Structure 1
Amino acid sequence: MAEFLYRLGRGAARRARTVIALWVAILLAAGAAFALFSGELKETLSIPGTPTSEVSDRLTEEFSGLGGGTGTVVFQTEDGAAFTDEQRSAITERIAQVADLPGVEDAVDPFATEEARAEQQQQVSEGRTGIDEGREELQQGQEELDEARAQAEAAGMLDQVAPQLDAQQAEIDEGLATLEEQSAQLEEGEALLDMAADIRMVSEDGSAALSNIAFTEPQQDVPQETKDAVMAVFEDDPVEGVTVDFGSDIAMAVPDLLGIGEVVGLVVAAVVLVIMLGTLVGAGLPILTALIGVGVGALAGLSLSDVVEMASVTPILGVMLGLAVGIDYSLFIINRHRIQLKQGRDVKESIGLANGTAGNAVVFAGATVLIALLGLNLTGIGFLGVMGTVGALSILVAVLIAVTLTPALLSLAGPRILSRRERARLAEGPAVASQEGDGDAAVRPMRTGAAVGRALLGIAVLVVVAIPALDLRLGLPDGSSEPHDSTQYRAYSIVSEEFGAGQNGTLLVAADLPGSPTQEEAAAYQLQLAEELYGQDSVVAVAPIAISDDRDLATFQVVPEDGPTSESTEELVHTLRDLAPLEGAGTLGVAGTASGNIDISDKLSDALPTYLAVVVGFSLVILLLVFRSIFVPVVATLGFILSYFAALGGVVAIYQWGWLAGLFGVDSPGPILNFLPTILVGILFGLAMDYMLFLGTGMREAYVHGAPARTAVVQGVRAGRAVVTAAAIIMISVFGGFVFSHSAMIRPVGFALAFGVLLDAFLVRMMLIPALMHLVGEKAWWLPRWLDRILPNVDVEGSALERRHSSAPASTDTGESGLVNAASGTSGREGSASEG
């Protein structure tokens, strides 16, 4: 691979303009594919086969118009007064227009619904009055009948009038029975109305109203065009004096690929590059190649959105990765090329050699990230697999650009990749030019006491920071997590304030009815079920929806006490699913947006341990091949696990607990984005392997060439610390720019990646791992002889290639001399590192 990349780099350098034209053509082709084939991004995530989807599918089969997606439209008067008659009429007219739109099953008129409720209450009241009056009349008739019977008995005429009196008594008894039956029915209806009393469509003061829109398609399949058409009815012809807001189930906020925060992150990365490389040309090349890579990867990924279900956050993830690794991978090659130029190598020869050595490491590091991301498909969760695949595509493009476009641009830049001062020193001679850094400084191993202190401090900090992860709760953002100036947040807030938080996440409950009940029995079952549901903790209202035609299924609307992402609502969903209120009818089914999000979070939680185990196993194998050691892979992998859980702890503390909420723009703390822990495993693993590779190979190189084990640790850190520090700061800057994204989904992802890189690069790789390796000493490189014989020799840094092309002056610098081979096998020390 190293020889191939060497030739590829030299070829790209010789045909620089051709390579640049090719990548421009690829970028244009990706843009054309996006324009021709891109489809609609999904704001709603779904997983087939969950309890919610099964209930929804059955409801769709049993009830026409039930089981499809829903949306909420919220109306509020601008002056806070009750709606006028004109405003009511205008809103009703527009709701009727919405109901006629293609893809809309029904649109509920809140005013008509409240009028119908008032009529039902009036009917109940009138019915109760009528029954009471009927009872009085029958009681009076009974008294008169009893008096007539007494008079007839006193006159001795009872036998003659008995048939007539008995007939009248039968009429009275029948009337009483009818009244009792009507009273029982009235009490059932009154009980149902009382249980549904808190389900209001118009606020008590008459200043706010909400309309529920029912769509013909399931929630995740409702086209955005249909939702846009619903919003257009109200926005194109607004009602005077009335504001209209839309819930998250209608208003889709597709996040911008690049915003102000992301631009600031790029600026910080540029500053870091200028400081490290000392020239604007050198600083501009990695950013240019990264932007081209992001353009190709994002446009190519989005072009697939018409054939696969793609969440709106998916392309943003690709942009994050494309920017961060694109800059870093080019930086590694450019940094190696600069060092070689200062050693006196020819420009094109140096480009080829940098591509075959540092570029070889880039390919290896990129392959680890790519495989980890593709491994997300092993979870069996469709949208997560798509995220991993799109992210892997961005990584692949970044690697290809690093080993082809970067050499081409370096060829055009020529010696200008060095600063004027560096070129002046080079003119004095390569020996003078290469006398930079601390390579000539005496290399001494760290003190053992300091190593113990560093190890204990690093582990303690990581464990403490990881503690909040024990309280991790997963969910999806609701309207409360959206920016306060968004229509989704306003709709959520109005509903919570005027109708109760639970109205933002009502549940749809389905219950089987036992046997083949009659209509009367089905009604009795319906009341029994409603009372059972209403009696549950955290339930504020229950309303029957319908009973199927064959009377084997009843459905109810259940309003929780708290919002859709609250712990109480999550517990309620699980509690309802465990209930079996009717003997022989099985447990209840629960559906709805809140229920669906809970199911997705549960599914992701179940898949996380398996995926984490796969990644950890993969990490051990890779590091075993690279470092030919037992201790190094184990401690490096444990370090990754610590940094992973510490990153989760930071996310929980800020986004779930609300610590430093103002600093990070967290307006409403809540559950953590349900796919974040899983996606973080794949990405952070790949980046951690990058840093371990670029630091650990320097340690291995020094050791196999004769340095004492503890001295080799210091030499390896010196060799890679500058480039790893710059790369880590760049990644933190790029990921950190997404922390202030407008999207509630993107912000915690950006923070988790930035914080994870910060912990892993500086605390784990440059502090904890060197300290532990110092304490272990020679045993850090122990490997059984039998295992040493069967393991392939992975020349990650292309040392064999460097030896074959050693005609130019070679560096003797042990400091900032670039990255070196992990397992060259060229020293007798190599054999001593393996023991039987």
Structure 2
Amino acid sequence: MASLLYRLGSAAARRPLAFVLAWVLVLGTVVGAMLSLQRPLTNEFELPDSEFAQVLADLGEQIPEVAGGTGTVVLHSEDGFTGAQRDAIDATLADWEDLPHVTGTVDPFATQAELDSSDADLRDGRRQLIDGREEYEKGARQLEQLRWLIGEGERDIARLQRTNPDDATLPARIDGQAELEATLADGEARLADARERLEDGEQQYTDGATLRGLGDGVRLVSEDGTTALVQVRFDASMQEISPDDLALVPETGEQLADAGVEVDYGQELVFSTEVGGIGEAIGVGVATVVLLVMLGSLVMAGMPLAVAFTGVGVSLLGALALTHWLDLQQMAPVLGAMLGLAVGIDYALFIVNRHRRQLADLDHAGTEIDREDIRHSIGLATGTAGTAVVVAGATVVIALAALLVSGIPVLVQMGVLAAATVLVTVLVALTLTPALLALAGRRAIPRRRKKDTPRTDGWPEKWVDAVTRRAPAAVVAVVLLMGVLAIPALSLRLGLPDGGSEPPDSTAYQAYQRVGEAFGAGANGPIVVSADVEEPLAQADVVATQARIGSELAQVEGVRDVLPIGVSEDRRTLAFQVVSSDGPSAETTVAIVDELRGSVTDELAADGVDVGVTGATVANIEVSQKLADALPLYLVLVIGLSLLLLTIVFRSVLVPIIATAGFLLSVVASFGVIVAVYQWGWLGGVFDVHDPGAVLSFMPTLLIGILFGLAMDYQMFLVSGMRESYVHGQDARQAVRSGFVSGARVVAAAALIMVSVFAGFVWSHMTMARPIGLGLAVGVLLDAFLIRMTLTPAVMSMLGDKVWWMPAWLDRVLPHLDVEGSALVDKQRAPRPVADDERHDVEQDALV
């Protein structure tokens, strides 16, 4: 591989303009394709074979009006809504109903009036029941008096028949008695019928009152009359509708501002796909400063940036062009940009740094450097450092491609796009970097250190000496620090962001807050429950069945309201809206969903009712659970890959174990920091975390994959130097020192660049990118400086020669990769040799 890359780098050095123009042409082509073919990104989170999707599909067949997507619009008027404002709202509702995919709107004022009238109807019904009960009791008393009269008449007739059977009035009395008995029989029949109707009325009232009581807290207009909640209903889920079509809702609603109505839109109607915010710009700016300090030249510092932006531009613009045929999740380009910028700068820096070191060797030896020397050095740098770049990039690509095991299309898409970005960036680094170096020519030669300047050890020498002299203490200190940082990870809870995690100045956050204040936090994400009965219900039994099922749902701890929202035409399917006391991402809401799917489902199943649970809140919970379930398999896959790859590269059994153990420490420590900030709210003011909640469910899987690749990059660039020194005859402990000194500066610079780029996304416009940015920034910082530059040299110096042990049979089985490019150096014309002390001076000049 090194020889092939040498030829590639040499070709680019001999025809630099051709390679530069080729990439300009490629970039121009993808720009044109993107402008012609791009379609809007999607926020869809599809989950194959998901329970919530199946329930939603079944519900859509039975009760279509409750199965489509619903967008929330919050209206506010400080002093209450005036007549003119109500007219403007009515007109806007009509305009919304004419928009694509909109099936209707729920007028909050009309619906609230219906809810209020239902309360009045219940009160009227109760009064009628009371009046009916009084009438029934009055009739019962009258019949009782009639029975007494009939009894008295029977006794009089019996007495006359005994004492005066010939009394002329006796026949009339007997006839009158028969009429009274007939009247009594008729009255008793009518009283029985009245009693049956009264009992039916009482039962209906009880069922209605029960049902209304279950949803007593549901309102669409706040009690003070200042806030109203509009629901815009769509013919498909919100994820399936084009963002451009969704954007028409806020565009149409702009007319309400003229009427003095404040309007805020729920997160499902507005979402940001913006990448280039101030945070990202600051991150790139800091990376530029690091490059200037490292390379000492604007020209040289600009090369890694040019490589990174070219790689990211080609890959992401190409991906946007593909949206003409494929749906692209809004988070995928952000992740690709984040990772592409970081690795692009780093990979180009490694090649540039190697080239400058080689030129410094020649210059320090007093050699007159000509064009051929520069071309040879470029080819050699591409063959040596480029080989390490290929292997390092391959680790990142493989780790991201391994996201296929998650089985979640969105995560697979994000991983594939990020992997493609890294792949393109590696290709750009291997071809554009040597071309740019050739154009730079002699400007790549580092400035010489003045000969009379005394040589002093730099920070790498001092650091590795301190670490290796006190190796046990260094190991204990790093492990303890990582362990402390990892403690919060024990309470890690996964979820998807809701409106409460949006920036405070966003309309989505304002809508979330106002809904919570006026209608309760749970109104931001109600749960939809479907209930299928065995036989079609009689019309008269619908309310009773709704009350019975609703009562079971309401018994779940944390449920605030249960509201019936639909009945199928065949009256076999009933739909309910369950509102929790807390927000959609709260832990109590997750517990409610678990119980609805568990004990409540089992209890109702025993009564012949089949329960299903769905809705956006349930979808988020199910996606998070699916990701959590896939995480162990993915982690095992990544660890296995790490052990295998590092064993091949370093020809050692213990080095891969040390590297993998360090990687795991970095991961759990990063998890701990993320939990502390985004779930516990620590330093919330610094990181703009105003509503702590569940951690982004994609974060652990993505962080493991990306951090694995980056950790292996630093392991490769740092430890490969140690192995090279060991192979060339130094003892194990001295090899640790030599390898560390030769690679520490460039690894430190590369790590700082990555941390800067990732940290820039911590304040991104897209809130989903924030925890990933922080996790990667913290992970790289900890892994590079504590694991690779502290723990690794400390453990390796303690183990000595044992660290490079490998069974002979395993050495024969595994393929050999010349990561250091040693074979290439032996075959090609290397720079003129210099003494060891002179080389030390050269490295100081080249890297400081």
TM-score with structure 2 setting the length: 0.92
- Matched with 1:229 is 248
Contact in 1 for aligned 2:488/2:673 (Cα 8 Å): yes
Amino acid of the structure 1 residue aligned with 2:329: A
User: 2:818 matched to 1:799?
Assistant: no
User: 2:197 matched to 1:178?
Assistant: yes
- Matched with 1:378 is 405
CA shift, 1:110, in A, is 0.5
Contact in 1 for aligned 2:635/2:704 (Cα 8 Å): yes
- Matched with 1:660 is 683
Contact in 2 for aligned 1:508/1:557 (Cα 8 Å): yes
Counterpart Cα distance in 2 of 1:442 and 1:40:
53
CA shift, 1:149, in A, is 4.0
Q: 1:524 is matched with which residue: 526, 530, 544?
A: 544
Larger Rg: 2
CA shift, 1:807, in A, is 5.0
Q: Equivalent residues in 2 for 1:425-504 (5 A)?
A: 450-504=470-524
CA shift, 1:520, in A, is 4.0
Contact in 2 for aligned 1:542/1:556 (Cα 8 Å): yes
- Matched with 1:333 is 351
Contact in 2 for aligned 1:46/1:596 (Cα 8 Å): no
Contact in 1 for aligned 2:105/2:233 (Cα 8 Å): yes
Amino acid of the structure 2 residue aligned with 1:307: W
Name the CA shift for 1:3/1:436 in 2 (closer, same or farther; >3 Å): farther
Q: Equivalent residues in 2 for 1:373-772 (5 A)?
A: 373-419=400-446, 421-422=447-448, 450-578=470-598, 579=600, 580-582=602-604, 583=606, 585=608, 588-772=611-795
Name the CA shift for 1:233/1:808 in 2 (closer, same or farther; >3 Å): closer
Amino acid of the structure 2 residue aligned with 1:46: E
Contact in 2 for aligned 1:343/1:434 (Cα 8 Å): no
- Matched with 2:31 is 31
Counterpart Cα distance in 1 of 2:503 and 2:37:
31
- Matched with 1:824 is none
Counterpart Cα distance in 1 of 2:400 and 2:259:
52
Percent of matched pairs sharing the same residue: 45
Counterpart Cα distance in 2 of 1:462 and 1:442:
23
Contact in 2 for aligned 1:443/1:715 (Cα 8 Å): no
- Matched with 1:823 is none
Amino acid of the structure 2 residue aligned with 1:494: R
Counterpart Cα distance in 2 of 1:366 and 1:811:
32
Q: Tell me the alpha carbon deviations over residues 657-714 of structure 1, each in whole angstroms, 9 at most, x when there is no partner.
A: 1111111121111111100100111110110011000111111111111111111111
Counterpart Cα distance in 1 of 2:453 and 2:339:
35
Counterpart Cα distance in 2 of 1:361 and 1:440:
21
Number of positions where the alignment pairs a residue of Structure 1 with one of Structure 2: 809
Name the CA shift for 1:793/1:150 in 2 (closer, same or farther; >3 Å): closer
CA shift, 1:137, in A, is 2.5
The 10-residue stretch of structure 1 (308-317 or 595-604) with the greater mean CA deviation from structure 2: 308-317
3-state SS in 1 of match to 2:66: coil
Structure with the bigger percentage of helix: 2
Counterpart Cα distance in 2 of 1:603 and 1:611:
12
Counterpart Cα distance in 1 of 2:537 and 2:11:
81
Name the CA shift for 1:246/1:435 in 2 (closer, same or farther; >3 Å): same
Name the CA shift for 1:727/1:27 in 2 (closer, same or farther; >3 Å): same
Counterpart Cα distance in 1 of 2:417 and 2:464:
46
Name the CA shift for 1:403/1:538 in 2 (closer, same or farther; >3 Å): same
Contact in 2 for aligned 1:445/1:711 (Cα 8 Å): no
User: 2:293 matched to 1:266?
Assistant: no
Counterpart Cα distance in 1 of 2:677 and 2:152:
92
Q: Which runs of 5+ in 2 are unaligned?
A: 158-175, 363-368
- Matched with 1:209 is 228
- Matched with 1:309 is 327
Q: Equivalent residues in 2 for 1:222-371 (5 A)?
A: 222-238=241-257, 240-254=259-273, 256-344=274-362, 346-371=373-398
Contact in 2 for aligned 1:342/1:434 (Cα 8 Å): no
Amino acid of the structure 2 residue aligned with 1:140: K
Contact in 1 for aligned 2:528/2:614 (Cα 8 Å): yes
CA shift, 1:446, in A, is 6.2
Contact in 2 for aligned 1:437/1:816 (Cα 8 Å): no
Q: Which runs of 5+ in 1 are unaligned?
A: 820-836
Counterpart Cα distance in 1 of 2:842 and 2:23:
31
- Matched with 2:166 is none
Contact in 1 for aligned 2:146/2:180 (Cα 8 Å): no
CA shift, 1:19, in A, is 0.8
The 10-residue stretch of structure 1 (44-53 or 490-499) with the greater mean CA deviation from structure 2: 44-53
Contact in 1 for aligned 2:393/2:709 (Cα 8 Å): yes
CA shift, 1:523, in A, is 3.8
3-state SS in 1 of match to 2:578: strand
Q: Tell me the alpha carbon deviations over residues 555-577 of structure 1, each in whole angstroms, 9 at most, x when there is no partner.
A: 11000010001000001001100
Counterpart Cα distance in 2 of 1:440 and 1:603:
45
- Matched with 2:122 is 124
The two structures, once aligned, show a CA RMSD in angstroms of 2.3
CA shift, 1:166, in A, is 1.4
Contact in 2 for aligned 1:438/1:816 (Cα 8 Å): no
The 10-residue stretch of structure 1 (581-590 or 688-697) with the greater mean CA deviation from structure 2: 581-590
Amino acid of the structure 1 residue aligned with 2:356: R
Contact in 2 for aligned 1:526/1:544 (Cα 8 Å): yes
Q: Tell me the alpha carbon deviations over residues 483-508 of structure 1, each in whole angstroms, 9 at most, x when there is no partner.
A: 11100000000000010000001000
Contact in 1 for aligned 2:533/2:610 (Cα 8 Å): no
- Matched with 2:173 is none
- Matched with 2:366 is none
Name the CA shift for 1:551/1:807 in 2 (closer, same or farther; >3 Å): closer
Q: Tell me the alpha carbon deviations over residues 269-327 of structure 1, each in whole angstroms, 9 at most, x when there is no partner.
A: 11111111111111111112211222112111222234333221110111111111111
The 10-residue stretch of structure 1 (62-71 or 490-499) with the greater mean CA deviation from structure 2: 62-71
Contact in 1 for aligned 2:89/2:256 (Cα 8 Å): no
Contact in 1 for aligned 2:516/2:522 (Cα 8 Å): yes
Contact in 1 for aligned 2:501/2:691 (Cα 8 Å): yes
Q: Tell me the alpha carbon deviations over residues 5-43 of structure 1, each in whole angstroms, 9 at most, x when there is no partner.
A: 111111111111111111011111111221222222122
TM-score with structure 1 setting the length: 0.93
Counterpart Cα distance in 2 of 1:759 and 1:488:
35
Name the CA shift for 1:444/1:173 in 2 (closer, same or farther; >3 Å): closer
Counterpart Cα distance in 1 of 2:694 and 2:622:
14
